[in-house]
Amino acid sequence: MFNTASSAPVATPSSGARKARLTSNQRPKWLVPAVGVASIVVGAALSALVGFNVALWAVFAAVLFLVAATLAVSLVEGPRNGADSLVTYLVYTAFVLAVVPLISVIWTVLANGLPGLNANLLLTSMNGVTGATDNAAVAGEAPVLGGAYHAIVGTVSITFWATLMSVPIGLLTAIYLVEYSKGAWLGRSITFFVDVMTGIPSIVAGLFAAALFGLLFGPSTRFGFVAAVALTVLMIPTVVKNTEEMLKIVPNELREASYALGVRKWRTITKVVIPTAISGIASGVTLAIARVIGETAPLLVTAGFATSINWNSFSGWMTTLPTYIYYQILTPTSPTNPDPSLQRAWAAALILIVIVMLLNLIARLVARAFAPKTAGR
């Protein structure tokens, strides 16, 4: 080692040559943008050959850019940087591919839903709205009547009951798994069954709730609470899994610190472990709500379908936003003039998306509000 080091001709090349070595093999700043512009132009030409449309243009441009940019960079900077830029641009492409459907969905719902979104839609139900009303609206003799107020009420109350049932069960299950089971067979089997539950198709959960209440109260018993039970089956595994992860990342040192102060185990859990993890738990619960609030299939078989406002989850059929959208599109109020129904369905879809986005926002705010404070040094 030492021999080669001392005998090798390290002996100072001129300082100019050394500078050149440090900065050589760097691509000029314009290279990648230039390749990008070129691929867009060539992509346009190629797609024009096949029969021009925007999607084809984008695909051709992206593929050309990936190949050309990789080649250009590897020619200038060597194969390692070439591979680096190939993967970088692949990741960007994947990001665009993931975001395009999202933007497209939001755009479609906004474009179709905004015209129908008015006070009438938010504050009235479909009670008394018939095909004749819609026909009159299409003929221009009356405004579009009927709204989704009863569906908003149904969504809120069913989701409320589902949350009220699944959060305590899920939270306590997770606490048992992380703090008490210590890998015993009961804990392992609970974990296994929770994993199985995660994979239950939502219609099966709906059929379970329908069958359960059918046994208790006679066949085709349908009211809001039955749907809440179905949603609980879907929500519990999400809450358990998320809370489990959150409790696991609470450092053991904090538990030990608490034990070393002579604090009992359950007090350590309620006063140290849960407060430390509460922000993650709360945002996880909110995301679980956002997950089940859009369920359609289990609600069709458990809550029935209503056109009037029903605040009571324990008697009478109930409509939620997803089932409202489903029925408005599938069986328009006026079969000859489906446009008012479509308009109501899109507006209801917009409301649903807004509710879910608000829940996500609340989850972030909750997480921030509860997060352990680190400032103040």
Partner 1 sequence: MSKRIDVDNLNVYYGDFLAVEDVKMGIDARSVTAFIGPSGCGKSTFLRTLNRMHEVIPGARAEGQVLLDGEDLYGPGVDPVVVRSMIGMVFQRPNPFPTMSIRDNVLAGVKLNSKRISRGDADALVESSLQGANLWNEVKDRLDKPGSGLSGGQQQRLCIARAIAVKPDVILMDEPASALDPISTLAIEDLINELKQDYTVVIVTHNMQQASRISDRTAFFNIQGTGKPGKLIEYGPTSEIFSNPKQQQTEDYVSGRFG
CB of 183 vs partner 1, minimal distance in Å: 8
CB of 361 vs partner 1, minimal distance in Å: 23
Judged on CB neighbours under 10 Å (0-12, 13-18, 19+), 317 is middle
CB of 371 vs partner 1, minimal distance in Å: 9
Question: 34 or 254: whose CB is closer to partner 1?
Answer: 254
Site size toward partner 1, by CB under 8 A: 27
Is 249 a binding residue for partner 1 by CB under 8 A? The answer is no
Count of beta carbons in the 10 Å neighbourhood of residue 205 = 24
Is 267 a binding residue for partner 1 by CB under 8 A? The answer is yes
Is 100 a binding residue for partner 1 by CB under 8 A? The answer is no
Among 98, 139, 260, 330, binds partner 1 (CB under 8 A): 260
CB of 272 vs partner 1, minimal distance in Å: 6
At 163, which helix (H) or strand (E)? helix 149-175
Mark 274-303 with x for binding to partner 1 (rule: CB under 8 A) and - for no binding: -xx---------------------------
Q: Which stretch binds partner 1 (CB under 8 A): 118-126, 261-269, 307-315, 346-354?
A: 261-269
Residues sharing a CB contact under 8 Å with residue 333, sequence separation 6 or more, in sequence order = 126, 129, 130, 131, 133, 134, 146, 340, 341
Question: 21 or 264: whose CB is closer to partner 1?
Answer: 264
* In contact, 340 and 333? CB cutoff 8 Å: yes
Encoded amino acid at 361, one letter: L
CA atoms of 164 and 207, how far apart (whole Å): 21
Question: 143 or 251: whose CB is closer to partner 1?
Answer: 251
Task: Scan residues 164-193 and list those touching partner 1 (CB under 8 A).
Answer: 182-183
**Angstrom distances, CA of residue 318 to CA of 297, 300, 344:** 14, 10, 18
Nearest to 247 by CA among 354, 171, 312, 350: 171
Collapse the DSSP code of 143 into the 3-class scheme (helix H, G, I; strand E, B; otherwise coil) and give the result. coil
Which residues contact partner 1 (rule: CB under 8 A)? 182-183, 251, 253-264, 267-268, 271-272, 275-276, 372-377
